[in-house]
Structure 1
């Protein structure tokens, strides 16, 4: 029996809490590409008011839309809930001209990667 067959020496996947904390860290420092490499599955599925998007290009597209609203603003993360492979983040964002008052993202994390995400927020001037 090899080490891989026995599980000996195999690294356990990161927990959902570890993945989502890493995601928040990367986004807070503006490191989208690092976030994609470390935290997102290549075939991630994203659902938002913008439609269904897939893969890292889908994440980039939706991140660009959010950045068009709050380019140099600040984000506050209010609550992160997890249970098993499901997580939910409640957040707000603002600039001098615009506010996001109801941001909610939900995640499915499997094998240490985000495999699905829903994104909801609305803006107010």
Structure 2
């Protein structure tokens, strides 16, 4: 049974999009892992890391920035894997909060969307 009334062709389309995004993200994560290994080696190898050097970023700041990007990529990978699981389970395109259909435009913009736009807005943290 197609998810949320989505045709088999539409599900196949999103499956392909999500797999492509996943492959690209994995490639970026591999490059980032190599960069993190380089920084880890430089930090443990006693490389000069002058925290007061105005010429460029320190190893600590590079590590911090790359670690943050790695965390972000890992989160995106988990979202993609979750969406692929929803396709396999037959509930892709159904909002996890309200059970309504997620609009096609939202899925086109964000194929890994777990919530319809109304629920996603309701779940956003409010800035006061």
TM-score of the superposed pair, with normalisation by structure 1: 0.26
Q: Which is greater in Rg?
A: 2
Question: Which structure ranks higher in relative contact order (CA pairs < 8 Å, sequence separation ≥ 6)?
Answer: 2
Higher share in strand: 1
The answer to which structure has the higher helix fraction is 2
